[in-house]
Amino acid sequence: MSVREGLSRFGKFLSGMVMPNIGAFIAWGFLTALFIETGWLPNEGFASIASPMLSYLIPVLIAAQGGYLTGGDRGRITGAIAVIGCIAGAPDTTMLMGAMVMGPFAGWVIKMFDRFMEDRTPAGFEMLIDNFSVGLIGMFLSMLGYIAIGPIMTAILAVLMGGVQILMQYGLMPLLAIFIEPAKVLFLNNAINHGIFTPIGIAQAEETGRSIMYMLEANPGPGLGVLLAYCLFCKDAKTRQSAPGAVIIHFFGGIHEIYFPYVLMNPKVIIAPIVGNMCAIAWFSFTGAGLTSAASPGSIIAFLSMTPSDLMLTNIIGVVIAAGVSFAIATPLVRTMATADLDQASQQMRDMKGSAEAAVISDTQGGKIVFACDAGMGSSAMGATRFRNRVKAERPDLTVEHSSVDTVPSDANIVVCQRVLSERARKSAPQAQIVTIDNFLDDPALDALYTSLTQLSHAAELIEPTPAPASAPAEEERPSLAIERADVRLGVPSVGREQCIRDSGALLVQRGCVSEPYVDAMVERDRLTSVYIGMGIAIPHGTNDAKEAVEKTGVVLQQYPDGVDFDGEKAYLVFGIAGKGEEHLEVLANICRILEDESVLEKMKTTDDVDWVVGVLSGRR
């Protein structure tokens, strides 16, 4: 693993602890901004809520989430108990850093205990041991936190605070931008913002009611300047037309990631946000500016919401300075660009982010991985089968299955889905880690997930001889689906994407598998999420709502030797699917088996031998 990947994974882990609890930060931030003595609506009673929220609620929430990430539900409780000792051991310090250490540590300890007791728990004593172990281990870790972790974190925070004071005293704060801006583009913003700046900012805000540390990474000005330069001066029409939408998402939505591809396509442009942020930080330092709480997400709305009333104009000027300087420097760099390939830069960003997202930050021993698509019928089934075959030798303890994105099992540890379905997946499986992909067969995030799962420190211990089943199911009892010559069309001339899907649906109608409305549902499914799944294969099938139009299970194949364009990717094999229950899965499993042999896959893309294709898909060859 490279240093960048390691740091990205660390940032992802920190984000996994903090981001689910960002609502608590917002509540505390608004209480502070509105009701403290220097706030917009001073109120001593309401202001008194902020202190216990910061001192107790937020550290407990972070520690509980950290414990959950490393130790599951039992880790959540143990982490929450343990961090109380840190809080009590350092009553004058907000124990955010302590929570980020103690929570994951407590989860790991309880996980190690559970693993040790796996075969040693006497029958009938399971509940007693489970409850007492969480309580006693939590108590001992709480004592450790009181004696050691709390004081150590206080000392570390004091050192960091001292470093910040030196930087401020000698006017060196702007130099932090040299580190911050490249780190953001490399997806390390969560590591620096939530792991370093926020704890220091809270300590400063407790004393002065505001902190400049909240402004360093969240300022939307530097990225705005870059995007404005692309809006006005980029020679590539496609890139120039995409930039105004990115401006709105970045500046008002606070999604800074939207401007990263514009930097990656021309790395020299990184100079612009660096210098822009340096100038803004210099202005904020000179004027004594600050925010009352963390501005997350980093939109201008959140930024100004956390601005004290007496600093509103000052902070707005700082954002304008950052944007103006960044724009002035980015303009000549954008103007002189020879080429601008936004799609390639966006793909590079997705590859980087996908690798970080696929880092396994929860305990997956004996866990369940679910591949989810809209209907849970075609692409997710293919993805699950292929990944199961890939990972089963190294991680036989894992269960890999597929489902509709709206019916993900409640015990799923990891959910793999296409990006446009990620929010639905989070609602369906809030307990699971979400890994987003662009296609189900050859996405870089799947490679990163495989690496993460197989490189766990205890993965080798999980490879044990599996006893043979008592009796193998009879051949005729297995679900089967005969694919016939009439189901296969070879050498089809290339057509447009929608026509290709409609032709596939028409063949399913002709074969008596579906009624006419199913064809429109296949086109709609592709509009929702692409039916192209990678490696030159597309699997058109209907939406979840179209299952009533399925008369019987069927799979048809159209071969396009010259390919059909799917957003720049060529599909040579197009499998139309209509499934009742899981009757179609055997053919999909055979397709996955074909994918393991590159020579067979390549032959199938060009062959004119229908009997050979039917034999391969039926598992007879």
Residues acting as catalytic residues: 373, 541
Q: CB count, 10 Å around CB of 23? A: 11
Q: Which residues are CB-neighbours of 350 under 8 A, at least 6 positions away?
A: 438, 444
CB–CB of 353/187 below 8 Å?
A: yes
CB–CB of 139/78 below 8 Å?
A: no
What is the spatial distance between Cα 238 and Cα 221, in angstroms, rounded to a whole number? 24
What is the spatial distance between Cα 24 and Cα 29, in angstroms, rounded to a whole number? 8
CB–CB of 82/63 below 8 Å?
A: yes
DSSP SS3 for 575:
strand
Using alpha carbons only, what angle is made at residue 514 by residues 508 and 518, rounded to the nearest 5 degrees? 95
In degrees rounded to 5, what are phi and psi of residue 326?
Answer: -60, -40
In degrees rounded to 5, what are phi and psi of residue 565?
Answer: -75, 125
Q: Token pair for residue 525? A: 């499914």
Q: Token match 């590591």: residue?
A: 191
What is the spatial distance between Cα 132 and Cα 399, in angstroms, rounded to a whole number? 30
Q: Token pair for residue 105? A: 């540590």
Please choose, from the candidates 152, 145, 156, the residue with its C-alpha nearest in 3D space to the C-alpha of residue 84.
Answer: 145
CB–CB of 303/312 below 8 Å?
A: no
Question: Is the Cα dihedral 323, 324, 330, 334 positive or negative?
Answer: positive
Q: Token pair for residue 14? A: 């920190």
Give the H or E element holding residue 148. Answer: none
Q: Token pair for residue 43? A: 């109120």
Spacing of C-alpha 148 from chain mean position: 34
> For residue 536, is it left (φ>0), alpha (ψ between -120 and 50) or beta?
left
CB–CB of 417/437 below 8 Å?
A: yes
Q: Token pair for residue 571? A: 């599909």
State the angle between helix axes of 58-89 and 22-35 in degrees (0 to 180), rounded to the nearest 10: 80
CB–CB of 210/292 below 8 Å?
A: yes
Query: Please, what's the b/e burial string for 201-238 (b: 16 or more CB within 10 A of its CB; e: otherwise)?
Result: bbbbbbeebbbbbbbbbbbbbbbbbbbbbbbebbebee
556: β partners = 576
CB–CB of 375/433 below 8 Å?
A: no
Question: Is the Cα dihedral 301, 307, 310, 316 positive or negative?
Answer: negative
Q: Token match 């999420």: residue?
A: 529
